[in-house]
């Protein structure tokens, strides 16, 4: 069964649910369903049982409460009634099949917390990736809840629908670390995979089980009285025995009896029967309904939720409204969710579905098709797609997706490549079932999008070509499909390094946008973000950095919502790469860290894109001669994706890896790495230039300056780093004049950062020293060293060679930096502590808790001791430590304390 909902009034904040606000939409980009966050209403015949409510009051004193029993045991109504009378805010979440994706589950749980005014939920952030949720988000949430004065009460109803074991694990983690800040109540048919024995042993579990939920004879008699039936004591006892006090059984028998001519006798006969209770009673109640009602009930059994209009669409009638209202009043089968949405009681819906298959065989697919058609005009897209898929109508389903302009969600939603298990929430998974012969250009677009997520560009382009032909024949209609087609062409062009094609396709997208209703575009900020990111990436590949920056900055500055988290992160890391290539390591590092922090905040799973961010950090680390750190970052970048799919990241990897190998003295390996080809439609000037730079440096290291100079002869026109490299090679080959000419042509300062200017100044200093002008040489070298120190650039100084030591060794003014670096170290050797401190870089302020941990770290306390001192768990301390390290840009505690002292944080 697939779920179906909703008109605007059933979702949160109609009108205000702007796409830009991450808070109003779940990670799939859909508005939160308000009905899932509301405490369910009780039926008119609800019987409050004080013994159960009294037991439930103990939930306020224990972190975990479990109410479990089979379908129809009366769990939900009990907790809902208790919660409503509590006079305290309760965060209520009804679990759903779509919660199999942890990101969706946590987004809903956080929304439930926000809905009942828990401010702590804001601090935790928003999961962006439906598939996974970042551990630090959970840690933030738990820590924030832990600090609360009064516990927040959280109810998760239908928890048995949450079958993904990692969600339970995560819930257990939050529960443990929230301490007294949270009371969790799980309403479930099956025991969750939490360590219940431990909670029981600690006395921190309140349990209400099926036996306790069962009705006693007195309660049963009272319940039947509410239905207008008076039963003798013996008859009541017999009925309880027959039904084992099962609430749904009692309710159904009351209904069946009410409708018979002799209720008392009817119940007596029922007692004597031997049929399975629910089955028999449901059939009894069903057959007493008018034919129209029976038909309607059978048909809506394919839906999780429905409103009268949707039910009408399925049954081909006009009178579903009064029928449903009547059924609800009679407390038969349907429950009211509010806003005139209903659902079948879960127990009955399963049995009714069985009846549907018997009585109206073959109708199921047609009903799904009708539901999909109705939902397409006024319901949320995922439900439409789910029903379309269940009906097996792929042409329709693909068209519904494309017409909604949702094709971008293949790239911003969960990624098929990194999925650990199939998810219902995953577009890729949904469409993986698509029939291979499904026709229509939209189905082709879907296939192309899936091929692109698999990085199979050839297959994607074949599909796109056919789709475009079919769409061109249908002009001027199908604007959304033509726009989607052009967007996918931009993405394909970005992946193949084809800037011309990207520009052309982007132009088409912008033209077609004029024909799309603005509100539809507003709902899909990911479209523009994806377009700008991949257009920018193609421009970057072509070396048009200014144009690339314009596009990437647009994408990076877009709405801060979850739906654009992936393109935003990719744009930020590409901007960082350009800063690095232009010689601004500090800016590059800040940019890459911003990209990674943003990715973390939205729980993007690696290697959704953080790969390039790590590559940039690795390259910066090489420039700073932090070679072990660089290796770690490189390993991280390539761990999940050894070969980046797009040429920009692939070239970045080649450059970073070759530079690291060169710095470690592995000249041959560096040359081999630099030779590895990056396949692309057009050549990239900077990729070629920077690769040539490494090759040239490798030849210099091997004592072949002529070869080194030759390698860079053409690349020198690329300006910046390449020109300086060429100058250095020329100088080494003895052509001082040629070297100075190259440096004289250096472009303006803005486009060349310290990594370039420091190297240029060192080459000038060396040339001056050779010419015998020691004073100029010393002045230039001192200036270069000062600039290098500010950016912590060690590598250019180390590269410069022994002449620098001779030059500065004669000069008493040279600081320890010059001395230390002038003494050549074995490549890759660990840095000695002390000496020159690099200019510190703080990206983020430490939180209060992180400060606490840091102070104890400075007192040489162990992790366990810190945990004990702060009354938190060891894991919490480790989480804080990790973010302290990240914020301070260090890897070890000793470094963290030193850096913190330098920054005056201690």
Q: How far is the CB of 165 from another protein (least distance, A)?
A: 13
Q: Which of 97, 116, 196, 283 touches another protein (CB under 8 A)?
A: 283
φ, ψ of residue 769 to 5 degrees: the values are -60, -40
Listed in sequence order, the DSSP H helices in 92-134 are 102-115, 120-124
Residue closer to another protein by CB (options 277, 663) is: 277
Q: How far is the CB of 414 from another protein (least distance, A)?
A: 22
Contact (CB, 8 A) for 31 and 38 = no
Q: Which of 95, 277, 531, 698 touches another protein (CB under 8 A)?
A: 277
Q: How far is the CB of 380 from another protein (least distance, A)?
A: 25
Residue numbers 130-189 binding another protein by CB under 8 A: 189
Contact (CB, 8 A) for 756 and 720 = yes
Show the tokens assigned to 667: 């000249």
Q: State yes or no: residue 72 binds another protein (CB under 8 A).
A: yes
For 847-881, give the DSSP string: PHHHHHHHHHHHTT--HHHHHHHHTS-HHHHHHHH
Q: How far is the CB of 268 from another protein (least distance, A)?
A: 18
> Could you report how far apart the first and last alpha carbons of the chain are, in Å?
59
Q: How far is the CB of 213 from another protein (least distance, A)?
A: 14
Q: State yes or no: residue 70 binds another protein (CB under 8 A).
A: yes
Give the single-character DSSP code of 809.
H
- The continuous run of DSSP H or E covering 199 comes out as helix 196-202
Q: State yes or no: residue 358 binds another protein (CB under 8 A).
A: yes
Q: How far is the CB of 304 from another protein (least distance, A)?
A: 13
Q: State yes or no: residue 423 binds another protein (CB under 8 A).
A: no
Residue 761 and residue 101: Cα distance in Å, rounded? 55
φ, ψ of residue 462 to 5 degrees: the values are -60, -50
Contact (CB, 8 A) for 366 and 391 = yes
Q: Which of 84, 264, 350, 741 touches another protein (CB under 8 A)?
A: 350
Of 237, 249, 234, 242, the residue nearest 272 (C-alpha)? 242
Q: State yes or no: residue 343 binds another protein (CB under 8 A).
A: no
Residue 434 and residue 557: Cα distance in Å, rounded? 36
Residue 383 and residue 97: Cα distance in Å, rounded? 12
User: Which three-class secondary structure state does DSSP give residue 2?
Assistant: strand
Residue closer to another protein by CB (options 110, 303) is: 303
Residue 588 and residue 579: Cα distance in Å, rounded? 5
Residue numbers 209-248 binding another protein by CB under 8 A: 244, 246, 248
Q: State yes or no: residue 360 binds another protein (CB under 8 A).
A: no
Residue closer to another protein by CB (options 71, 184) is: 71
Q: How far is the CB of 846 from another protein (least distance, A)?
A: 47
Binding mask 804-823 for another protein (x = CB under 8 A): --------------------
CB-based contacts of 176: which residues, under 8 Å, 6+ apart? Answer: 142, 873
Residue closer to another protein by CB (options 48, 209) is: 209
Tally of CB atoms within 10 A around 324: 24
Q: Which of 46, 280, 803, 885 touches another protein (CB under 8 A)?
A: 280
Q: State yes or no: residue 779 binds another protein (CB under 8 A).
A: no
Of 523, 457, 522, 520, the residue nearest 488 (C-alpha)? 457
- List Cα–Cα distances, 830 to 499, 627, 804, 821, in angstroms: 43, 9, 22, 13
Residue closer to another protein by CB (options 18, 70) is: 70
Residue closer to another protein by CB (options 347, 687) is: 347
The piece of 64-72, 574-582, 624-632, 711-719 that touches another protein (CB under 8 A) is: 64-72
Q: How far is the CB of 254 from another protein (least distance, A)?
A: 16
Residue 482 and residue 477: Cα distance in Å, rounded? 9
Residue 253 and residue 266: Cα distance in Å, rounded? 9
Q: Is 48 left (phi over 0), alpha (psi -120 to 50) or beta?
A: beta
φ, ψ of residue 503 to 5 degrees: the values are -60, -45
Q: How far is the CB of 279 from another protein (least distance, A)?
A: 4
Residue numbers 521-560 binding another protein by CB under 8 A: none
Residue numbers 248-267 binding another protein by CB under 8 A: 248-249
The piece of 4-12, 223-231, 276-284, 594-602 that touches another protein (CB under 8 A) is: 276-284
Show the tokens assigned to 107: 């987004």
Q: State yes or no: residue 363 binds another protein (CB under 8 A).
A: no
Of 213, 108, 83, 84, the residue nearest 159 (C-alpha)? 108
The piece of 353-361, 441-449, 584-592, 598-606 that touches another protein (CB under 8 A) is: 353-361
Angle between helices 893-902 and 848-858 (to 10 degrees): 110
Q: State yes or no: residue 355 binds another protein (CB under 8 A).
A: yes
Token match 């209202």: residue? Answer: 325
Q: How far is the CB of 245 from another protein (least distance, A)?
A: 13
Q: How far is the CB of 272 from another protein (least distance, A)?
A: 11
Residue closer to another protein by CB (options 240, 471) is: 240
Q: State yes or no: residue 347 binds another protein (CB under 8 A).
A: yes
Binding mask 840-879 for another protein (x = CB under 8 A): ----------------------------------------
Residue closer to another protein by CB (options 137, 298) is: 298
CB-based contacts of 720: which residues, under 8 Å, 6+ apart? Answer: 581, 582, 583, 746, 747, 751, 752, 756
Residue closer to another protein by CB (options 164, 736) is: 164
Residue numbers 179-198 binding another protein by CB under 8 A: 189-190
Contact (CB, 8 A) for 652 and 612 = yes
Residue 70 exposure: Cα atoms within 13 Å on the Cβ side: 12
CB-based contacts of 209: which residues, under 8 Å, 6+ apart? Answer: 68, 69
Tally of CB atoms within 10 A around 417: 14
Q: How far is the CB of 72 from another protein (least distance, A)?
A: 6
Binding mask 1-40 for another protein (x = CB under 8 A): ----------------------------------------
The piece of 352-360, 488-496, 755-763, 867-875 that touches another protein (CB under 8 A) is: 352-360
Residue closer to another protein by CB (options 279, 864) is: 279
Residue closer to another protein by CB (options 297, 627) is: 297
Number of residues binding to another protein, judged by CB under 8 A: 26
CB-based contacts of 654: which residues, under 8 Å, 6+ apart? Answer: 673, 674, 676, 678, 687, 691
Q: How far is the CB of 350 from another protein (least distance, A)?
A: 5
Q: State yes or no: residue 71 binds another protein (CB under 8 A).
A: yes
Residue closer to another protein by CB (options 69, 607) is: 69
Q: How far is the CB of 94 from another protein (least distance, A)?
A: 16
Q: How far is the CB of 596 from another protein (least distance, A)?
A: 38
Residue closer to another protein by CB (options 161, 368) is: 161
- List Cα–Cα distances, 715 to 139, 417, 504, 707, 727, in angstroms: 49, 37, 28, 14, 11
Residue 114 and residue 26: Cα distance in Å, rounded? 13
Residue closer to another protein by CB (options 334, 780) is: 334
Binding site for another protein (CB under 8 A): 70-72, 189-190, 244, 246, 248-249, 274-280, 283, 346-347, 350-351, 353-355, 357-358
């Amino acid at each position: 069964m697939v779920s179906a909902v909703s008109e605007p009034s059933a979702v949160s904040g109609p009108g205000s649910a702007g796409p830009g606000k991450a808070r109003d939409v779940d990670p799939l980009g859909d508005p939160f369903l308000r009905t899932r966050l509301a405490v369910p209403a009780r039926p008119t015949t609800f019987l409050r049982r004080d013994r159960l409510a009294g037991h439930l009051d103990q939930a306020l004193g224990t972190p975990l409460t479990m109410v479990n029993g089979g379908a129809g045991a009366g769990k939900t109504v009990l907790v809902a009634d208790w919660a409503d009378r509590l006079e305290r805010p309760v965060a209520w979440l009804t679990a759903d099949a779509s919660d199999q994706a942890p990101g969706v589950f946590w987004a809903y749980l956080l929304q439930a917390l926000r809905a009942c005014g828990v401010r702590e939920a804001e601090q935790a952030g928003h999961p962006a990736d439906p598939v996974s949720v970042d551990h630090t988000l959970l840690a933030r949430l738990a820590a924030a809840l832990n600090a609360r004065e009064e516990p927040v009460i959280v109810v998760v109803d239908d928890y048995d629908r949450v079958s993904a074991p990692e969600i339970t694990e995560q819930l257990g983690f939050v529960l443990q670390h929230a301490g007294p800040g949270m009371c969790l109540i799980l309403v479930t048919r099956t025991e969750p995979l939490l360590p219940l024995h431990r909670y029981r042993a600690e006395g921190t579990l309140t349990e209400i089980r099926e036996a306790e939920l069962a009705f006693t004879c007195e309660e049963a008699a009272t319940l039947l009285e509410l239905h207008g039936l008076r039963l003798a004591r013996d008859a009541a006892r017999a009925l309880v025995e027959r039904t084992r006090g099962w609430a749904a059984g009692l309710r159904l028998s009351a209904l069946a009896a009410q409708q018979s001519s002799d209720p008392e006798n009817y119940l007596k006969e029922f007692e004597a029967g031997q049929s399975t209770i629910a089955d028999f009673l449901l059939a009894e109640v069903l057959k007493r309904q008018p034919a129209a009602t029976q038909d309607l009930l059978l048909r809506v059994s394919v839906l999780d939720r429905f409103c009268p209009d949707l039910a009408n669409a399925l049954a081909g009638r006009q009178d579903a409204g009064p029928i449903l209202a009547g059924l609800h009043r009679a407390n038969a089968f349907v429950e009211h969710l509010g806003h005139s949405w209903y659902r079948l009681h879960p127990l009955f819906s399963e049995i009714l579905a069985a009846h549907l298959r018997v009585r109206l065989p073959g109708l199921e697919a047609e009903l799904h098709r009708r539901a999909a058609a109705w939902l397409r005009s006024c319901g949320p897209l995922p439900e439409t797609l789910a029903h379309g898929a269940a009906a097996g109508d792929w042409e329709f389903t693909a068209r519904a997706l494309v017409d909604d302009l949702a094709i971008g969600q293949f790239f911003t939603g969960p990624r098929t490549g990194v999925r650990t298990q199939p998810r219902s929430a995953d577009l890729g998974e949904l469409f993986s079932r698509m029939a291979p012969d499904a026709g229509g250009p939209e189905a082709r677009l879907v296939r192309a999008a899936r091929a692109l997520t698999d990085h199979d560009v050839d297959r994607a382009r074949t599909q796109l070509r056919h789709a475009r032909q079919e769409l061109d024949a249908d002009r001027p209609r199908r604007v959304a499909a033509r726009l989607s087609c052009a967007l996918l062409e931009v993405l394909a062009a970005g992946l193949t390094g084809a800037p011309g094609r990207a520009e052309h396709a982007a132009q088409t997208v912008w033209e077609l946008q004029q024909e799309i209703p603005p509100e539809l575009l507003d709902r899909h900020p990911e479209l523009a973000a994806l377009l700008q990111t991949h257009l920018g990436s193609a421009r970057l590949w072509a070396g048009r950095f200014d144009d690339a920056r314009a596009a990437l900055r647009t994408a990076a500055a877009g709405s801060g919502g979850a739906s654009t988290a992936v393109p935003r992160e990719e744009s930020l890391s590409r901007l960082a790469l350009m800063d690095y290539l232009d010689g601004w390591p500090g800016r590059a590092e800040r940019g890459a860290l911003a990209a990674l922090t943003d990715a973390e905040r939205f729980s993007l799973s690696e290697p959704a894109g953080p790969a390039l961010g790590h590559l940039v950090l690795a390259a910066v680390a090489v420039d700073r001669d932090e070679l072990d750190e660089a290796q770690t970052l490189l390993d991280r970048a390539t761990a999940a994706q050894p070969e980046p799919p797009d040429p920009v990241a692939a070239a970045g990897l080649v450059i970073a890896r070759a530079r690291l190998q060169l710095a470690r003295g592995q000249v041959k390996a560096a040359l081999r790495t630099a030779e590895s080809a990056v396949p692309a439609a057009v050549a990239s000037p900077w990729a070629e230039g920077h690769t040539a730079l490494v090759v040239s440096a490798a030849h210099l290291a091997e004592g072949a300056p002529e070869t080194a100079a030759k390698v860079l002869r053409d690349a020198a026109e690329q300006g910046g780093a390449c020109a300086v490299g060429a100058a250095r090679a020329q100088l080494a080959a003895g052509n001082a004049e040629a070297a100075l000419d190259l440096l004289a042509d250096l472009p303006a300062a803005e486009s060349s950062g310290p990594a370039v200017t420091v190297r240029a100044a060192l080459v000038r200093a060396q040339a001056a020293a050779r010419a015998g002008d020691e004073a100029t040489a010393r002045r230039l070298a001192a200036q270069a060293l000062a600039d290098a120190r500010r950016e912590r650039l060690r590598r250019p100084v180390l590269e410069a060679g022994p002449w620098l030591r001779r030059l500065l060794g004669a000069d008493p003014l040279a600081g320890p930096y010059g001395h230390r670096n002038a003494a050549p170290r074995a490549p890759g050797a660990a840095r000695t502590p002390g000496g020159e401190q690099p200019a510190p870089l703080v990206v983020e302020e430490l939180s209060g808790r992180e400060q606490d941990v840091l102070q104890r770290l400075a007192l040489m306390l162990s992790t366990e001791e810190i945990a004990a001192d702060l009354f938190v768990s060891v894991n919490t301390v480790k989480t804080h430590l990790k973010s302290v390290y990240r914020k301070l840009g260090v890897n070890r505690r000793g470094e963290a304390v030193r850096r913190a002292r330098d920054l005056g944080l201690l």
